[in-house]
Amino acid sequence: MNKKFLFALPLLAGASWAGAAYYTGTQTQGAYDQMLAQFNRIDRFTLVNEIYSAGLLNSSAVTRVMDSAEPDASVLFRLRHAINHSPIAVDEGNVRMNVATIETTLLREGSLPESVSELMMNFSQAEPFQINTSVGFDGTTSNEISVSSYEQQIDGVAVRFKGLDYTAIIDGDSIVGSGRIGELVIHSDAGTVRLMPGDMTTDLRRSSEFAYTGSYGIEFDKLTFTSADNMLLDMALQSIGFQSDTQIANELLQSQARFWIGNIDTLLPLNSVSVDTRVFNIPVSGLSQYVDAIRQLSRPVDQHSPDTAVIDAAVAANSPIIGPGTGLNYTMKLSNDGGDATLAYEMSVIDRSAANYPAGGLASLSTLRDLLNVVQLEAHLDADAVAVDMTPLAMLMSTPEALQVVIADGASYRVDLNLADLILTINGNPLSLEELIGDSIDTPLVDVIGLQRL
């Protein structure tokens, strides 16, 4: 984001107080329109300026939020913006000096379906949500977002939500924010689900039209379920979180995400779990094509469309972001009273410098052999035997099929797989894919997966 559509307009040098205020007010509409255009890059909703009234010290605007950009799109709801753009003003007894303050609330009069209006009545405050934006002279904006508490009971299910507060500071292309999500309780005849408060953090920078770098995360204190009639179903999960970090270097995107549950209290033999996912060497140049293709996939699909058409679209979406060295890494870690277990795999495209990288690039792949020749894979399982033996997986590990690939020495269970150069290596034993697959290795890709060429 940048200053020109965040209502952050520089004051004219030497202008009088009134002149500066009027300049800001009359120029804000253009910035407002550009901001709507920016938001409308997201296909899920379309924002349309319905009314903009500029004044000397105050302006107002109404935005329609539509369910699509189609001519017959329905209005989901309207937002009302009260803009105070005098350089100096007094808010709640305090003097402020900035370009503008914008208060955004839900417009109710004649804009909400009856069912939505009834839903709004369950919020504890007159305004179900409010966004207070303060725009500084340097273009920095502070956005305070609040959602009021909510209670509803319907069909024997009671829902209670304590609300949300979030503050985001936007400075040029950077967004830094933090907030807290209130407690959520859902109660029914079956039992009670209680999600304790959680914290959100954001530290992002817009690096391109389609990519943000930086981190964001959320962590909840505790999640519990208390059964009304079966204590065996009771559970308590503590420290539940998600954290993501994305960076761009040399026009390649690297992103990693982590989900974790720090403590698990159930009848299951499981104390904690974490899942780490990493994608690497994603060509930034292909992100725009990827986003456009994903948007098309998100639209309603004709139920009579052949499956191959849908699959073709999926491949078309992912092809632009796959290049030399592009890969995916996945690691899951679990623990119980018996020890730890780790399952990890990494799959990637070979580097352009590899001897068997195709001269015509990835677009020239035409057979299953071609595809397998540019893919490399590693997979590992390392688990304490006592930990596994406490679970139903112990029965699986003792089957003849598992014993062909799992090394069990009494202390641990281990598996090491490697695929490279058409050789599959299992625990140090190499196997030729040409011998395993036979003539099928030269099957055209279009026959293997029913797709057009990558």
Residues 33 and 132 in one domain: yes
Separation between Cα atoms, residue 65 and residue 45, nearest integer Å: 7
Helices (H) and strands (E) in the chain, counts: 10, 26
What one-character DSSP code corresponds to residue 367? Answer: B
Q: Are residues 202 and 273 in the same domain?
A: no
Structure tokens at 116: 């939505």
Q: Are residues 292 and 233 in the same domain?
A: no
* Cα distance between residue 121 and residue 124, in whole Å: 8
CB 221 within 8 A of CB 241: no
Q: Is 436 helix (H, G, I), strand (E, B) or coil?
A: helix
Structure tokens at 439: 């003539």
**Are 325 and 375 members of one domain?**
yes
Residues 6+ apart with CB under 8 A from 375: 347, 348, 349, 350, 419
Phi/psi for 36 (5° steps) reads: -60, -40
107 and 171 share one domain: no
Q: What is the pLDDT along the chain (454 residues), one digit of tens a residue?
A: 333 323 322 222 223 333 334 444 555 665 556 556 555 655 566 778 788 887 767 888 888 877 777 777 777 778 888 887 765 555 554 545 556 778 888 887 665 667 677 777 888 888 888 888 877 767 677 888 898 999 999 889 999 999 999 998 888 788 899 999 999 999 999 999 999 999 999 999 988 767 889 999 999 999 999 998 888 889 999 999 999 999 999 999 999 999 999 999 999 999 999 999 999 999 988 877 776 666 665 555 555 454 556 556 666 666 778 899 999 999 999 999 999 999 999 999 999 999 999 998 888 888 999 999 999 999 999 999 999 999 988 888 888 888 889 999 999 999 999 999 999 999 999 999 999 999 999 998 878 765 444 4
Q: Which of 64, 69, 62 is nearest to 44 (CA)?
A: 69
Are residues 76 and 15 part of one domain?
yes
Listed residue (378, 366, 327, 364) closest to 349, CA to CA: 327
Quote the radius of gyration of the chain (alpha carbons, Å): 28
- One domain for residues 300 and 245: no
Amino acid at 123: F
Q: Considering the domain boundaries, does residue 341 fall inside one?
A: yes
The alpha carbon of 20 is separated from its chain's Cα centroid by a whole number of angstroms, namely 41
Among 339, 425, 342, which residue's Cα sits nearest to residue 382? 342
68 neighbors 76 (Cβ within 8 angstroms): no
Q: Are 273 and 263 in contact (CB under 8 A)?
A: no
Residues 238 and 290 grouped into a single domain: no
Place of tokens 């004709």: 302
Does the model's pTM come out above 0.85?
A: no
Asked if 362 contacts 323 with a C-beta cutoff of 8 angstroms, the reply is yes
Contact 325, 351 (CB under 8 A): yes
Domain assignment present for residue 122? The answer is no
Whether residues 102 and 160 fall in one domain: no
Alpha helices (runs of H) in 193-306, residue ranges in sequence order: 287-298
Instruction: Classify residue 88: in a domain, yes or no.
Output: yes
Cα–Cα distance, 78 to 47 (Å, whole number)? 9
Q: Does residue 200 belong to any structural domain of this protein?
A: yes
Do the domain assignments include residue 261?
A: no
Same domain, 208 and 322: no
Measured CA angle at 128 (ends 124, 129), to 5 deg: 135
Number of folded domains in the chain? 3
Does residue 296 sit in the same domain as residue 363? yes
Domain contains 32: yes
Q: Does residue 289 sit in the same domain as residue 431?
A: yes
State the sign of the Cα–Cα–Cα–Cα dihedral 208, 290, 244, 132.
positive
258: in domain: no
Residue 94 sits in which domain range? 1-112+127-141
119 lies in some domain: no
List, in sequence order, every beta strand (DSSP E) within 316-420: 327-336, 339-349, 375-384, 407-408, 412-420
Q: Characterize 196-221 residue by residue with b for buried, 16 or more Cβ atoms within 10 angstroms of its Cβ, and e for exposed.
A: bebebebebbbbeebbbbbbbbbebe
Cα 364 to Cα 285, 315, 352, 367, 422, distances in angstroms: 19, 15, 14, 9, 18
Which residues are within 8 A (CB) of 419 and not within 5 positions of it... i.e. 6 or more apart? 372, 375, 376, 377, 378, 425, 433
